[in-house]
């Protein structure tokens, strides 16, 4: 379930149980199908996935922030 207060044009992706680097590959594919300004809420396991996905998103020019077990990414 997406945290409350999320942007109307958004998507959700549950990647719990998925190992790195597939977490970023699947996240990137989802972002590519979205429009600039859309939000993607990604649910990730703790540790490397929650560290690497937002870092990779920012390296690709997107805005990313951690919110509990989710990472919120705004597509640029």
Interval 34-63: pLDDT, tens: 999 999 999 999 999 999 999 999 999 999
Nearest alpha-carbon partner for 68 in 4, 8, 25: 4
Average of per-residue pLDDT across 11-17: 96
Q: Above 80 in pLDDT, residue 19? A: yes
| Domains present along the chain, CATH in parentheses | 10-74 (3.30.110.40)
Name 14's bridge partners. Answer: 43
Average of per-residue pLDDT across 21-30: 97
Going edge to edge, which strands form the sheet with 70-74? 10-14, 39-43, 70-74, 63-67
Task: With beta carbons less than 8 A apart as the criterion, state whether 8 and 38 touch.
Answer: no
Rounded distance, CA 53 to CA 16, Å? Answer: 13
Residue-level pLDDT at 1? 45
24, burial (CB in 10 Å: exposed 0-12, middle 13-18, buried 19+)? buried
pTM for the whole structure: 0.87
Mean pLDDT over the full length of the chain: 91
Residue-level pLDDT at 3? 53
């Amino acid at each position: 379930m997406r945290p409350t207060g999320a942007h109307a044009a958004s998507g959700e992706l549950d990647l719990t149980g998925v190992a790195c680097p597939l977490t970023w590959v699947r996240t990137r594919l989802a972002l590519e199908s979205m429009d600039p300004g859309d939000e993607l809420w990604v649910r990730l396991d703790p540790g490397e996935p929650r560290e690497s996905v937002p870092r990779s998103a920012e390296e690709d020019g997107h805005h990313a922030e951690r919110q509990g077990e989710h990472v919120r990414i705004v597509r640029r």
